[in-house]
Structure 1
Amino acid sequence: MAHWLFKSEPSTWSWDQQVAAGAKGTFWNGVRNHLAKQQMMAMQKGERGFFYHSNEERAIVGVVEVIKTYYPDHTDETGKFGMVDVKAVKALKTPVTLAQIKAEPRLAEMALVKNSRLSVQPVTDAEWAIVMALAVEKA
């Protein structure tokens, strides 16, 4: 299974709001980038992703799971873009900051480092394992 990273500004949609949505989860809408759209179209039910607080915090704070695959985004007036549904799985023991990720040589090729503006990104199995280890090591 693939892994992903979902970026959100905490002032728009926070980890706490995602957790509060419970098992029913929420739709991940508003993506208006064609590469991010392709990433979402590739997602399969049950795949996991990092929940990343952008701008204010710049840290991976939790793990979400895709619970519904790609379908039309009702907020897109053009009809070109879609969304997936995700639910919170768990908070990271300790958030992993962008600074930590950039300081880790094994993460130098991570999409978050190379193409930080992309709102939905793939994460390799190796990157996933390294970030999860960083979240545990700091605790």
Structure 2
Amino acid sequence: MSTRHLQLCGYAVLLGMGLAAFSPAQAATSAANDPYGDWTGTLVADKGLDCPTEGLSYMQIQPTRMIFVPQMGNLVLHGVPNKERQHYHAQLILTDARKQPLPIVFEAHPIDDTFEGIYGTPTCRAHIILRRPENHPLDNFLNRN
């Protein structure tokens, strides 16, 4: 390659970096206006000893359905979102060893660009703040997500 060609490539790279530096940051979207998509956060126990607080929890909202997965485990709570009323409720009812119902519930509402939620079982009450996950295209490309 000629020296002139390398200089032009260098200028192009610097110009691209400069344009990226001066482009406006993407504004956070209000959770009330755009609740659809993926949300993550970590539960914090308020009451009880066996709350799933060790790992990341996940909520996905679509126009006709929603799910909440505490601690990214095997339990998946299902619900139907109501964007107009800002009502986001998901539940799962299991049966315990004595054949009694074991309800697991999750309620959330939007606050600015996050969701605040309450998770509850007969032996646990926890709260959570859910945020949209960070976008890491390189991690996605390398399958490290």
TM-score, normalising length: structure 2 = 0.23
Between Structure 1 and Structure 2, which shows a larger proportion of helix residues?
1
Of structures 1 and 2, the one with the larger relative CO (CA 8 A, separation 6+) is 1
User: Higher Cα Rg: structure 1 or 2?
Assistant: 2
